[in-house]
Chain A
Amino acid sequence: MSQPFHIVVCGSIVPDPLQMLEPVTGAAGPALKNEMMLPAVLDPWAAHALFEAAHLAAKHAGSKVWLVSLGPKAKLQQVMLTVAQKVPFELVALDGPASGFCDSLATAQVLADAVAGIPALNRDRLLLFGGWESASRGAGSTMQIVAERLGISEQFQGVDQLTVREDGSMEILERVEGGRHLVSVCSAPPAAFGWATGHLPEPRNNPQVGMTNMKTIMPALQRAKASAVAADGLRFAAVNVPKLQRQTRVVKDMPPEEIARELVAWIREK
């Protein structure tokens, strides 16, 4: 008989990747132009982790999923109303910055404290989930530090698949070079998983799930604590955007091989 898991997903919001993002230097350092005005979404990497967590929890009776989210409260509020319709979870909301220019060490400290403070969390059954990276911060270090702060030594990054075996151990596929996976086995929780894309599609909105989630999400947002993320000693030497070139063509149903051929030809031209 499988044992339940306590799965904590760390994930926050990012400006919708479809938006035009423009870095600017403000009084408090680098930021994105009009960041608070941009529509936000749940960080796609964290979203994969959340969907995988819910999928795993559904297969192991008694399991529970928390989402620990650090971001501006008003923005969290909006995004969570959509995320709440996807999968069941309980929100732990932290009112603070979600900018990609935040220090990952300081961010990890805030997140680790929040995870440690979850009442009724069974640390022996804890699976710590998060994005391997972030759409706003490519450091790839935040989840590792959160896990270290929580004393979790079993860590896996770039995870695409987690399978719980008959004996309760977990088989993990981590991405390695060349599109291949490193296969590892972890005997038992606690363990930390930085998810790549996983294999699950984004679940469709389910109002029933939304209604259930909302009972805990709204109060969680109400009591979201202001969480300062330290920025001592942090200095950005330069911030640049990649050169943008737009040559839009709308073509449907083009085979991937043909797209690849076009891209290669284009790169060779440059």
Chain B
Amino acid sequence: MSEALEIDIACIGFGPATAGFLYTLNRAMQADAELAAAAPMVVCYERADDIAFGVSGMVTRARGIRASIPDLDPASIPMAARVASERVVYLKDPFGASRRSAALKMADLAIHNDLLAAELPYIPPFLHKSDGFVLSMGQFLQFVGGEIMGGGMLQIWPACAVTEALIEDGGVCGVRLGGQGMDVRARLVVVGDGPVGAVGRQLDTVFGMPEGHHYREWAVGMKMVVDLADGVDLEPGTVIHTFGFPEPEIFGFLYAHPDRVVTAGIFVPSWMRSPVRTSYRYLQHFIQHPYLWRYLQGGRLRAWGAKSLQESGQRGEPKLVGNGYARIGEGSGSTNVLTGSGVDEAWTTGTQLAEGVIELLREGAPFTRENLDRAYVSRRRASWVEEEGRVAAKSRDGFHHGVLPGLLGMALSGLTAGRVSMPGEPQPLMDLHSYYRERIPAAEIDRIVSECGRRGAPCHDALMDHCGWPPIAYDGQLLVSHQDALLMGGKVQGAAGYEDHVSFRDASRCAACSARVCIEICSGQAITPAPSGVPAFDREKCVHCGACLWNCTNVSFQAAPGGLHSTEN
């Protein structure tokens, strides 16, 4: 181990929360000569190879962002547009291949139009984003990062993964950087490494979760950025949210950016009990639904990506502060699971921490748990993020019983300000035979599993083909193989010379596992069957979405540099 560096504040991860923190801190240092003269040394360590690799084309009300940047002009940020219109659409299954309840089959029978869809006549107020923006997370972070670094006082280091926090005397005193194994000692560690961040998980293990809090609900979000074909126009700021297809549990979206660019994607939730949770294949069917294909046909894939979302919301809130550390953003339970909003909330928690840190710096007070509690947590507790998070806390519990109870539960929570909700507890994942009992004979499932294992391929394609999902007619532009998506849209990279960051703890558990959900859900086909029974991992294909982590407790997922390499996601 080489000699430790010493700085004042170390930030982990450059996402919206840390961006909000650094933006607010930078602005205060620019405006306050005394604070600037004290010049705390602040370094933000980001795993990805650039500062702009957030994975989400997004729509946000941007209340917190606009509070920080009152004169925010979408014209100054590529791919940004004001929300122009919103639709919520039920999509009928054109193939009869999805696994639908009787109620949804009835709903499908009632839809006869050419688009095989029904636009909802009413959108509940809590789902509206009408005063907000459609943004590219990557471009927004690039814009904010430029502002931060332009000040010359704060540093953001890409391609620098923090593998763990340094813990001494019951508190955090710095971070360990991957690769060189270098330690950086810091007075304050700002943990903004997202829902599957290595440091966040380490702190949960060491310090424990608050009583009753947990990470039980997850989703993997996968999306693509598409150049529309000539002659296809969609008003910038158009926001479409969908449900019903490709599976009832999978929600989808399409957001229109300026210059005939759109983002389309899906969320595959943990409460979907299928062991075949392939986001990529489902995404390809989603974009080809007639309601969306009228816009997307002839388009060209321009970027692609995936990430995990922590869907437990406020009940997934860890201990927010301790001696020497504070947690912000999605990994701190800030996402509002009722409104489907996370970026603005994450940003706001970052600004709240920055305001608290500025207060403590001016006081000359140390970053103890008590001081951070007073300066940061109290601000958060008094804010709209907390208040609305409380309303949303139990809003999705109904989904554990199915889609319709889930939607009803959301409506109840949203319309009663959280006073009434639909209770529900997570159900275990179904095994392949149970899930496909009515569709595929057991012997055929066994044959498919065996055959795919021999080929080193996931099973989802063969199983879905068997259920009537039509083959994907690759066009080399938008409908491309999963591997081509990595090359054309994701630019996935894994720097040479580093150890595998995904491994499997207990080989015997892998050998005995029949579902292999880690393989099926892998967003980059980086985890594949191997002869030993323990899946093979190819770090050059890993997009660091972390879906393997919450789909199997036998997976070890460490911090490492690399991953997606696109600034448009």
Contact = CB atoms under 8 A, between A and B. Distances in A.
B158 A20 contact: no
Contact of B52 (A39, A201, A205, A211): A39
B566 A39 contact: yes
Interface bracket on B: 35 or more
Contacts of A40: 50
B565 A18 contact: yes
> DSSP class of B's interface residues: helix, strand, loop or mixed?
loop
Contact of A37 (B139, B179, B476): B139
Nearest to B484: A248
B182 A85 contact: no
B298 interface: no
Interface stretch (A155-163, A179-187, A214-222, A229-237): A214-222
Nearest to B5: A211
Contacts of B149: 77-78, 81, 218, 221
Interface residues of A, number: 34
B177 A207 contact: yes
A36 B214 CA distance: 42
A85 B146 contact: no
B388 interface: no
A78 B51 contact: yes
A208 B158 contact: no
B182 A207 contact: yes
A161 B483 CA distance: 37
Interface string B26-70: 000000000000000000000001111000000000000000000
A18 B483 contact: no
A36 B78 contact: yes
Nearest to B259: A34
Contacts of B495: 204
Interface stretch (B244-252, B396-404, B485-493): B485-493
B155 to A, nearest CB: 6
Centre residue among A81, A204, A206 by max chain B CB count within 10 A = A81
Interface string B175-212: 00101101010000000000000000000000000000
Contact of A205 (B145, B180, B481): B180
B150 interface: yes
B79 to A, nearest CB: 8
Contacts of A148: none
A169 interface: no
A265 interface: no
A250 interface: yes
A254 B51 CA distance: 35
Interface string B121-157: 0000000000000000001001001100110100111
A85 B157 CA distance: 9
Nearest to B261: A34
A16 interface: yes
A206 B184 CA distance: 12
A238 interface: no
Interface string A66-104: 000000001001100110010000000000000000000
Contacts of B481: 248
B180 A206 contact: yes
A77 B50 CA distance: 11
A39 B50 contact: yes
Contacts of A222: 152
A210 B152 contact: no
A38 B138 CA distance: 10
A19 B487 CA distance: 9
A81 B155 contact: yes
A201 B488 CA distance: 26
Given A39-B565, A39-B567, A205-B160, A250 B177 contact: no
Contact of A77 (B78, B150, B476, B488): B150
A13 to B, nearest CB: 11
19 contacts: A19-B491, A36-B78, A37-B79, A39-B566, A74-B146, A74-B150, A77-B150, A78-B52, A78-B142, A82-B49, A201-B496, A205-B561, A207-B177, A207-B184, A210-B160, A218-B155, A221-B149, A222-B152, A248-B481
For the complex of A and B, list the 7 residue pairs with the smallest distance between their C-beta atoms, beginning with the closest.
Answer: A18-B491, A74-B146, A222-B152, A207-B182, A39-B567, A39-B50, A37-B78
Given A39-B565, A201-B496, 6 more contacts: A39-B50, A77-B149, A78-B142, A204-B497, A205-B159, A208-B2
Interface of A: 16, 18-20, 34, 36-40, 74, 77-78, 81-82, 85, 201-202, 204-208, 210-211, 214, 218-219, 221-222, 246, 248, 250, 252
